[in-house]
Amino acid sequence: MRIGCPTEIKPQEYRVGLTPAAAAEAIAHGHEVVVQAGAGVGAGFDDTDYVAAGAAILDTAAEIFATADMIVKVKEPQAIERAMLREGQVLFTYLHLAPDPDQTRDLLASGVTAIAYETVTAPDGTLPLLAPMSEVAGRLAPQVGAWTLQKANGGRGVLMGGVPGVGAAEVVVIGGGVVGTHAARVAAGMGAKVTVLDRSLTRLRYLDEVHGRTFANRYASSAATAELVASADMVIGAVLVPGAAAPKLVSRAQLGSMKPGAAIVDVAIDQGGCFETSRATTHQDPIYDVDGIMHYCVANMPGAVARTSTIALGNATLPYMLDIADKGWRAAIAADPHLRAGLNVHAGKLTYRAVGEALGLPVTEAELLAA
């Protein structure tokens, strides 16, 4: 199989879909790898690194898309990229289709077979290709939130850990999964007073047993959420429903109860965001003000630490990429129901139920296509 890796073109996206090490592994399996010139520079990988691994360098994305059997990326294909996809080609990347009807429509029209990182599952029900970026985004969230809280950025001017005689910032993390746990650990490490909200009592017991001395937790009832959001200096949204649009957990009306200059960091923005007032921003222009509350809603947060993110993502995606390349996508998903869960689109058919429900589109079960 010929595996192609184009340069990411989403604004301020510096990650790359293939590391030189991953390219070398694919070549060792008998596959051909083509990489767009400069694709890895933002993550610290030169073209010479890919050539040394055995890959070929092509000048343009058009050449990559025209000749590759499988396209490996990081972010969802942008409109100009979607126009280059074709029937019979495999696309392996993050998609986040539920809040993106335009992308969904274009992928269906292209005839491509699209496998989404974020809906591939593991035997224990976790999301192994989302986890590395969730870990990065979770650890970044308090860092960018602390920056947002600075007065020059419109924030309250509160230091996360306070100083002797002055209290620490109050941080509320909505969601106790991978993102929320990592966010809470880092915020607490910065000296903030942290509370994690979640609706799973099993998860709350785990957080209490493992992190009970580091941060507090509460059951995420509507009343508890409203109470804690009102007193918070920073609220981190870390709720994800796999493949579906994120639930709206804080309304615009609730912003009026918050402290002026408080910061919101919406890590769920790729799935539409979990605050009613969230809209996607970029690293170049990351924050905006709604009713005196500062919103940080960058849709590709891990791109800010591109080298760490690229290597972490590559470690996770490599076995699945090789499985698809070695067996072909149909045999690979037939043999592995967890990889099959990643299939979102094939030959004009939508194959992921949560996306169909979010967008009101008919769905063909992936099991039927694996036969």
Catalytic annotation, pick one of 31, 96, 211, 346: 96
Question: At what angle are helices 306-327 and 131-149 packed, to 10 degrees?
Answer: 160
Alpha helices (H) along the chain: 20-28, 47-53, 61-67, 79-82, 101-110, 131-149, 178-189, 201-211, 222-231, 252-255, 306-327, 329-335, 337-340, 353-359, 366-370
100 is catalytic: no
Catalytic annotation, pick one of 270, 295, 336, 346: 270
Q: Which residues contact 63 (CB under 8 A, 6 or more apart)?
A: 34, 36
329: nearest Cα among 117, 90, 65, 116: 90
* Identity of the residue numbered 126: T
* Helices and strands in the chain, H and E counts: 15, 15
96 is catalytic: yes
258: nearest Cα among 147, 156, 152: 156
Strand partners, 345: 114, 350
Whose tokens are 């073209």? That residue is 47
Whose tokens are 């992308």? That residue is 103
Q: Active-site residues: which are they?
A: 96, 270
